[in-house]
Structure formats: C-alpha cells, structure tokens
Amino acid sequence: IPVERIRNFSIIAHVDHGKSTLADRLLEFTGAIKENSGNNQVLDKLQVERERGITVKAQTASLLYNVDGEDYLLNLIDTPGHVDFSNEVSRSLSACQGVILLVDANDGVQAQTVANFYLAFGNDLVIIPVLNKIDLKNADPERVCKQLQSLFDIDPSEVIKISAKLGKNIDSVLKAVVKRVPIPIVNRTAPFRGLIFDSSFDKYRGVLSLVYVQDGNVKVGDTITSYHNKKSFEIKTLSLLRPQEVPVERLVAGQIGLVGCNMRSSKEALIGDTLHNSNDVIEPLQGFTPARPMVFAGIYPMDQSQHVNLRSAIEKLTLNDSAVTVDVGTSPALGLGWRLGFLGLLHMEVFSQRLEQEYAMDAIITAPSVTYKLKLKPTKQNLKDGTDYIYVNNPALFPDHLTIEETLEPIVLGTIITPDKYMGPIISMCMERRGVQKNATNIDNERVMLQYELPLCEIVVDFHDTLKTLSSGYASFDYEDHGYKPSNLVKLSILLNGNAVDELSAIVHITKAQTVGRQMVLRLRDIIPRQMVHIAVQAAVNGKVLARENIKAFRKDVTAKLYGGDVTRRMKLLAQQAAGKKKMRMVANISLPRDTFIDVLKK
Ligand code: GTP
C-alpha cells in the first residue's frame, strides 16, 4: 500500500468511556474480526485489564478499509488509558499523526480526557472529537460539545456522535480517520529506522517489540542494532497484527509490526529506542528518556519459604513490563524481599494484582513511598565526586539531618473535574494535603475543573478514594509529573526502648511529624503484645521525642495457675508458647509478631 493510503492513529479516552468497545467495532467493521464475537474486547489481553476494564498494556492492530474503491491501511495504535503510563502513551502517540478523542456523552469531559488531550495536542496531532454512548437515556451531547468547545476550542460541527455499543455511526469515524489524519511522513528509500513503542515477552520467542517503521525496510535475517542500547540482533520473525499475528518476510516504512529477534529481557528492547541496520550510521528518531519510577514499595513473601517462587514471579512479570525497577531489600522483621519502583499508583496496583492472579502469589506489599531529593552540605568527598545531590526513597537510608543542606520532594500537577456542589470539601482536602491551587475553571453550568500542585507523597495514599467519597463518586482525578520542589522534610524515627526501628520510620513533612508520630505510637501501643519487659514506644525527629506511650510489662507466668495440675497439659502449654515465639521477630531486643509489622507497614 502506498504511503498516501496509510493512516496511523490511536484512541484516547477517560477510563470507561468506551475505548475498547470502539476498537472492537472498528475491527469488526473492517472485517479484521468477526462481528459479534461476543462483547469480549479483543485488544485488551491481560486478565487484569478485562477485570478492571482498563487498558494497561498497549495493543495494536492494522486494519484494511476501503473508501471509494481504494484500500487504506489504518494502523490503530492502542495506548494505555492512564497517565501513570504517560511515557508509554507518548511513545505510542509518537507513531501517530492523529487521535480519536473519545468522550462519554453522559459523563462528559473527565480528568483523563484533559490530560490525554494535552498529550496529543503537545505532540501536534490532529484530534478527531467523538462522543460515545449517545444511546444512553441521559446522554447530553449538546452539553458535552460545549465543554469541548470551552476547554479545548473544539468546533461542535467537527464532533462525531456514535454508539460504540450498538455499532452506530462507526463508518463516519473510519471516514474521518482517512480524511482528517495526515499522511505519515516516511522515506521508503532511506536506510531503515524503526521506533520501538511497546514490547512484550513470549515464552518461546523472547521479547517481541512493536515497531513503527519510519524509514526504509527491514526483513527477516537482517542484523539490526538498537541505537541507545548498542546491542545487535538478528531478526528471526516479523509479523503484522490484524489483530492476530500474520507472519511476513518484510516490513516497509509506514507499517507497524512485531519484531522478534531473540532478545531475552524487555530491558534490551527499550521503549522509545530506535532500531537500525547494523551497517548504517543513523540519527535516532527522538530524544529518548527512559521510564522513571515515581512510587516505591517493599514486597515480601508472606512466608520465607515462598521466597524463590515470588522471585521467579517478579522476574517473569518484569520481563513484560520494563518500567518496573527491582532492587533487593531486606528487613530484619520481614526477611528477604525486594524494593520495587513503579510509574505511579495504578501501575503498582496492577502489578500486585497480576502477581496474585497470574502467579497466585500472596505477598506483603508495604505502603508506597516516593523518592526525595536531598542536597548535602559540601564536604571534601562530595565536592570531589559531585555527589552533593542524593535520591532517597527508603527512610532507613535518610542521612543525618546535620549533613543535609536542603530537602526537595516530587510534585505533581493534579487535575480534578467535579460537579461544583462538591467543590468545598475537595478544596479543603487538597489544602490539608499541602496542595497549591493553580487554576479553577467552570467547564459548564455545573462542573468545574480544579488544578493543584500537590506533593506526590500526599496522593499516593488514598487520595483517589477520599476524592470519590467526598464527591459521591462523581469527581475524577488525574496527575502528571511536575518536578521537584524544596520542602521541609524530616525523618520520623520510631524507637522501642530507645532503639530506632528503621522499618517503622518514615520521611514526612515537618508540619505532619507530630500527628503522624502520635498516630504511629498509639497504633503500636495497641498492637504490640505485652512482654516480659516494659516497652517505651517513642516517635522522634532529629533526636527530639514528639510522642511517647508505654506498654506495661506482662507479669504473669502462663503456667502459674497450673501448678499441681496435669503435667502433660503444662508441657503442651509451654510447647505452644515456644511455637508462638518462632513467629516472633527480634527487633531492638524486643520480640514482635511478624503480623505487627505487616499491619503497620501496610497502612
Ligand atoms: P479503558 O480500557 O479503561 O480505557 O476503558 P474503555 O474506555 O476501553 O471502556 P470499555 O470499552 O471497556 O467500555 C466501558 C463500558 O461502557 C462497558 O461496560 C461498555 O459496554 C460500555 N459502553 C461502551 N460503549 C458504549 C455505548 O456506545 N453505549 C453504551 N450504553 N455503553 C457503552
């Protein structure tokens, strides 16, 4: 197919606005899949995606569509629906010239609609606005058209109204793709250059990279090199996705295909990297920034005997998801484990859910934390090797306050869309979480869009749930990375009888130290069982105690009552006590049940 008849596009939408349903209809309409193959969404492959109804991993298909007797090749590039994956979204978008901006005609514009619009807009893509679900009784296309106009300056006459569910008006969507999306600029005679925009792992063929061929062509047997990675591979398989794989011998510029070349790990197929023929010297396709994890959590097996199984499950999952970073972590209380880095909250949730569902792993995942940036006071050493800035995501590694010059924390720009009657409580919540309002816009008579700069650490724990509760489920939220800002951070230490327990410590903003410290101490008082010795539980910052509670010693001997009683019963009781002790962990010379830690670390 000549380049003039190729179109590359994707669908962007807020969760549940019907992206997968529309993708299925497009596939049916162009004959790529049989009609009514049930309502099961063909492009969403992972079980988590089906269950949660969200798209996590981008899936892609090439469609053939005939207009006025001419065949067009429409490459539908499916993007993950959430900005946690904004890196993947923008990679996928960089292979497109246009997007379908899909909005629910009942729900209207939501937070992710806004975030996705700006991603597409920033990539200079043609935007085709489409209202979905016009079959719904409460659909109000007029109102939503006005929202699109006031927020994005979209002319209501350009908006296409469809029902993906009923298959209504799908044809106009395809026609608009052909008419409005620009022809890709490619060069078929130049040396081969291909952009890797997604990768997955296949048990038999190793890593499969999804590649957009920008220039030239590539065939089975060619030796290719990845530009940033500088590794070379021989191409074993090439296929088109229609959406099932169709093996081909060659891919040419303008096409999208799956490239298999026996890579062993997804870390070798870096998303955003450029592939080229090993003999050619080329310019890479775009600036390449590796995915940067924003949220970290410790992961431990429920039981140390499952350590090996958990390790292998994590390895397999990360083969498929190169954005997860893995470091070994240990904790005297929880044993051997790992510290994982994720792109965001949803990414973390999806990962732990996949561990559970696909590998039946029952793991302990600690409360998420973020990465702080610290500027250290100049010393001879760091002046020499330039290590005056360090990144810390583990409170145990937070340096002594006397050595720190400045502390900075990661900030996000959050977008909230809500019916205006919930605005008061939402604004209070954002203020409580140290948010700074940047913008408030009415998007129609009863809805507002609020934009806040918020510290990432304030949204990682139940921000979304609280927002939903405050707004009876009507508010939506999305956020994007907004860099680091100076902030007064301290390490809150928890001490048991004067010994710091690093696993219980936390990095907090100074204004929260007192409250958090108090809460921790009270909780520990309630859950640590009484022991033979008196325990003082303290929370301290920079050596200063902020809160203290006591757990009185446990004086009674369990067997005291049994003197003169049955000996076997007494032995049994002692044996039980010994077994109980095995589950205990010695921390700061005090034995604590492992469950105590699980309890505290999860919250
Ligand atoms: P993500 O994968 O998270 O982006 O969700 P999605 O946008 O793919 O949503 P999906 O296609 O899964 O649709 C969400 C829900 O809306 C499903 O229950 C669909 O059946 C329903 N739905 C989709 N299109 C229509 C429509 O035109 N009319 C009605 N009434 N329901 C629809």
Q: For the chain, give the mean pLDDT.
A: 83
Average pLDDT over residues 562-585: 58
Is 79 assigned to a binding site? yes
Q: Yes or no: say if 91 and 272 are a contact pair by the CB < 8 Å rule.
A: yes
pLDDT of 156 above 90: yes
The H or E element spanning position 178 is helix 170-180
Cα-to-centroid distance, 38 and ligand 1 (Å): 14
pLDDT at residue 589, as a whole number: 60
Whether 19 is in the pocket of ligand 1, judged by its Cβ within 6 Å, is yes
Cα-to-centroid distance, 18 and ligand 1 (Å): 3
Query: Measuring CA to CA, which residue among 73, 122, 135, 67 is closest to residue 93?
Result: 122
Q: How confident is the model at residue 49 (pLDDT cuts 50, 70, 90)?
A: very low
Q: Yes or no: say if 24 and 43 are a contact pair by the CB < 8 Å rule.
A: yes
Q: Yes or no: say if 132 and 106 are a contact pair by the CB < 8 Å rule.
A: no
Q: How confident is the model at residue 350 (pLDDT cuts 50, 70, 90)?
A: confident
Q: CA–CA separation, 252 vs 62, rounded Å?
A: 14
Q: Yes or no: say if 29 and 178 are a contact pair by the CB < 8 Å rule.
A: no
Whether 15 is in the pocket of ligand 1, judged by its Cβ within 6 Å, is yes
Whether 167 is in the pocket of ligand 1, judged by its Cβ within 6 Å, is no
Q: How confident is the model at residue 72 (pLDDT cuts 50, 70, 90)?
A: very high
Whether 20 is in the pocket of ligand 1, judged by its Cβ within 6 Å, is yes
Q: What b/e string do you get for 171-209 counting C-beta neighbours within 10 Å, with b at 16 or more?
A: eebbebbbebbeebebeeeeebbbbbbbbbbeeeebbbb
pLDDT digits (tens, 9 = 90+) for 361-412: 778 787 788 999 999 888 877 777 766 788 888 888 899 999 999 999 999 9
Is 13 assigned to a binding site? yes
pLDDT digits (tens, 9 = 90+) for 125-142: 999 999 999 999 999 999
Global pTM reads 0.78
Taking CA atoms only, the protein residue closest to ligand 1 atom 13 is: 18
Q: Yes or no: say if 23 and 39 are a contact pair by the CB < 8 Å rule.
A: no
Paired strand residues for 198: 210
Among 118-132, 311-325, 414-428, the minimum mean pLDDT is found in 311-325
pLDDT of 47 above 80: no
Regarding predicted confidence, which is higher, 562 or 466? 466
Is 534 assigned to a binding site? no
DSSP 96-159: -SEEEEEEETTT-S-HHHHHHHHHHHHTT-EEEEEEE-TTSTT--HHHHHHHHHHHH---GGG-
Whether 87 is in the pocket of ligand 1, judged by its Cβ within 6 Å, is no
Whether 290 is in the pocket of ligand 1, judged by its Cβ within 6 Å, is no
Q: Yes or no: say if 331 and 368 are a contact pair by the CB < 8 Å rule.
A: no
DSSP type of residue 304 = G
pLDDT at residue 573, as a whole number: 61
Is 323 assigned to a binding site? no
Q: Yes or no: say if 95 and 123 are a contact pair by the CB < 8 Å rule.
A: no
Percent of the chain with pLDDT over 90: 39
pLDDT at residue 55, as a whole number: 42
DSSP H helices, 283-344, are 307-320
pLDDT at residue 59, as a whole number: 60
Whether 135 is in the pocket of ligand 1, judged by its Cβ within 6 Å, is yes
Average pLDDT over residues 138-162: 95
pLDDT of 565 above 70: no
Question: Which residues 6+ apart lie within 8 Å of 566 measured at CB?
Answer: none
Token pair in block for residue 267: 């870390």
Vertex 48: Cα angle to 42 and 53 (nearest 5): 60
Largest CA distance in the chain: 101
Average pLDDT over residues 503-522: 90
pLDDT of 91 above 80: no
Indicate the length of the chain as a whole number.
Answer: 603
Atom of ligand 1 nearest to the CA of 52: 3
Cα-to-centroid distance, 21 and ligand 1 (Å): 5
Is 14 assigned to a binding site? yes
Regarding predicted confidence, which is higher, 430 or 261? 430
